[in-house]
Chain A
Amino acid sequence: MFYGLSGVRHNSYVSDSKLFPVPADRNAVVFFLLLGLAAPYLVSSLYLNSYILPWLIWTAAVLGLNLVTGWAGQLHLGYAAVMAVGAYSAVHAAKFGIPWEFALLIGGLASSVIGSLFAFAALRTKGLYLALTTLAMQFVMDWVLTHSPTIAGGSHASLQSPTFALLGQDITSDAGLYYVAFGWCVLVTIFMLNLRRTGLGRALVAVREKDFAAAILGVNSFYYKLVAFAASSFIAGVSGAILVATFYFLAAPEQFAVNVSIQVLAMVIVGGLGSILGSYLGAALILLMPGVVNQLFSLGANLLGLDLGIETLAHIPNAAYGALIVIFLMVEPLGLGKLYANVRDYLMVWPFDQLKK
């Protein structure tokens, strides 16, 4: 009903391959874009800066991981390490006096270079073995960070980020920082949406589905893996740098440790492999869940008159986080994005649902 397809006709390939062929989708996207732009005037600063801003940056990062894991099918358990490379390079560059625009670029490129090392692992191995290799690389990176005071920022291992500035303007206001995150997230989203329509995107999917077969069809799978890792690492690097510049204000190794890698991967899985909308939803769910679960449990305990210890209460969100991943994989392995697509598919043909299988 919302997605009425009647009257939608495409007379050319150009219009048929538009980003959003269904008008309802187009309207929804415009609506959310406007909502995003107006957010600083609608939402309290607490939600804007402690929830929405990190959510948008993480979404951008998740999209990057989705490029390599969801689309190219390469398991990556060292994504946080790649983000760290970008973050540290950018902050060091900015400290050196390079304008932030270029510092971000440097961060992204540095990540691309290091991230491509992961691609060489992907050339040799896949599946479980690639996952283990990238995990080991994450550990190496963690080690380097905690053992190189010059990179990590002295004996306290904290590296202050200079004030963020674009075009010579210092950005310190809540709204300003928010727009930076929003802009980056929109940019990455547009890139990913368009990637879907290009030969590159299709080649990546081909590599994922069967790299032998892709090779026979003339798809150079190594080249595309490399491109996927490089592009995804670039996104990771810039996202990491923006995260530090607009949210943490300083970089520390714990921000990019192995559990963060797992968390980003969980966002991808819960959101749905290869789903752009899913990346938004997955990031939101994983980020917000600990707080919400904690509050729900203490509320529930309060209502039932149970006296849960403070320690018990603190561990429950972790158990719930694990349970969430397990339940998702059991019930809908394709994640939130797929759940939404199911609803959408249903409504598309409603009330004429004879097309349903």
Chain B
Amino acid sequence: MDLVFLAELTVNGALTGLLYSLFAIGLVLIYKSSSVPNLAQGALTMLGAYVVLAFSHNMGLPLWVAIPLAVVIMFFVGIGIEKVALRRLAGRPVIMILMMTMGIDIFLRGTTLAIWGGSSRSVDLGVSYEPLFVGDMLLSRIHIVGASVALALFVAFFLFFRSRLGIRLRAISDDYMASWSVGISVERGVGLSWGLASIVAVATGVIWGEIQGVDQSLSILLLKGLTVAVLGGLDSIIGAIVAGIILGILESVGSFYLDEIVGGGSRDLIVAAVLILTVMIRPHGLFGRHDIERV
């Protein structure tokens, strides 16, 4: 294998990885504010894409109208989920919170498919699929677009978390009680983070929907997203970005070699291995706080 090829695998892996980061940012936002691991993020992603399609395909609106509309709707869906389901569980054992988000995941998926049916649809963002060569390396335009969105979101959130509202959200993630004591509405803050995560879900859903079509399989991104989030540290957005790149490269380059040995399909294995090893060796991930729960 020559170097150009290795470089191409690496770059394309990193770009794909950034698309995982996109997903993981949604997880991080919620975990950061409320320490809830949101297993329903996959279903939210899928729902986000379906809502965009409902506006663009079913109602015939152009995408640049459909996406903002979906963003607004999903923002309130996210807030609603937090308010109805999660708020009551504050302070309950993590098993119940996990099960709750799993229940929400199953519910959202069932409802989405009951409304729109299971056959795959496509989002057309108008990104060209003509080959794009950089030197001898072939890059994917849509992946570049997606990676740019991920990085743009990262910058946006970086700035947001330095704004006054963002600082208040960070305060909530630091200390509930202290936040309450200085008049920060923790409920509203956590709700806001769910709303933001749902907006991220729309972005993720549209980009992944363009790449692989909109159907049930969008929710399967969850395992990769979780792995990226855990590797990055669960409460760190920069962590999600870096971990996404790492996982993407590991997957792309690693599976190239491993597939030969194990006879294919080693990508899932790599993801599972990264998840297990991270938890075993460094549960707080690359950028997570050290005080994260462990034995």
Contact = CB atoms under 8 A, between A and B. Distances in A.
Given A143-B269, A317-B110, 6 more contacts: A129-B283, A129-B293, A136-B279, A137-B276, A318-B109, A322-B106
A309 B269 CA distance: 39
A315 B117 CA distance: 8
B104 A136 contact: no
A273 B276 CA distance: 26
B15 to A, nearest CB: 24
- What bracket does the count of chain A residues touching chain B fall in? 35 or more
A123 interface: yes
B110 A321 contact: yes
12 contacts: A123-B295, A124-B279, A125-B283, A126-B295, A128-B98, A128-B293, A133-B279, A133-B280, A140-B276, A311-B113, A311-B117, A322-B110
B295 A322 contact: no
Interface in B250-295: 262-265, 268-269, 271-273, 275-276, 279-280, 283, 293-295
Contact of B98 (A121, A131, A211, A321): A131
A202 interface: no
A157 B85 CA distance: 40
Given A123-B295, A266-B99, A323 B114 contact: no
A4 to B, nearest CB: 35
Interface in A303-323: 309, 311-312, 315-323
Interface stretch (B86-94, B139-147, B178-186, B198-206): B86-94
A69 B110 contact: no
A123, A129, A320 — most chain B CB neighbours (10 Å): A129
Interface of B: 37, 84-85, 88-89, 92-96, 98-100, 102-111, 113-115, 117-118, 223, 226-227, 230, 262-265, 268-269, 271-273, 275-276, 279-280, 283, 293-295
Interface in A119-163: 121, 123-129, 131-133, 135-137, 139-140, 143, 146-147
A322 B110 CA distance: 8
Contacts of A219: none
A103 interface: no
Contacts of B102: 262, 266, 325
B191 to A, nearest CB: 17
Contacts of B223: 135, 139
A333 B223 CA distance: 26
**8 tightest CB-CB pairs across the interface, nearest first?**
A322-B107, A319-B110, A325-B103, A322-B106, A318-B110, A315-B114, A136-B272, A136-B275
B104 A326 contact: yes
Contacts of A137: 272, 276
B31 to A, nearest CB: 9
A324 B110 CA distance: 12
B85, B226, B268, B276 — most chain A CB neighbours (10 Å): B276
B11 to A, nearest CB: 27
Contact of A326 (B100, B114, B115, B269): B100
Contact of B100 (A140, A262, A315, A329): A329
Contacts of A317: 110
A132 B275 contact: yes
A333 B114 contact: no
Nearest to B89: A329
A167 interface: no
Given A147-B262, A147-B265, A316-B114, A322 B105 contact: yes
Nearest to B88: A330
A196 to B, nearest CB: 20
Contact of B95 (A69, A140, A312): A69
A147 B273 CA distance: 16
A181 interface: no
Nearest to A309: B117
Interface string A104-128: 0000000000000000010111111
B117 A323 contact: no
A75 B96 CA distance: 10
A132 B228 CA distance: 12
A180 interface: no
B100 A322 contact: no
Contacts of A69: 95
A312 B113 CA distance: 7
A318 B279 contact: no
A27 B116 CA distance: 52
Contacts of B295: 123-126, 211
A269 interface: yes
A311 B119 CA distance: 10
B268 A139 contact: yes
B280 A139 contact: no
Nearest to B103: A325
A85 interface: no
Contact of A321 (B106, B113, B275): B106
Contact of B37 (A126, A128, A133): A128
A133 B265 contact: no
B275 to A, nearest CB: 4
B103 A121 contact: no
Contact of A316 (B89, B94, B95, B110): B110
A126, A128, A316 — most chain B CB neighbours (10 Å): A128
Contacts of B269: 140, 143
B91 to A, nearest CB: 11
A265 interface: yes
B276 A315 contact: no
A75 B110 contact: no
Contact of B293 (A126, A139, A273, A316): A126
Contact of B96 (A125, A312, A329): A329
A69 B118 CA distance: 34
Interface string A261-281: 010011001000100000000
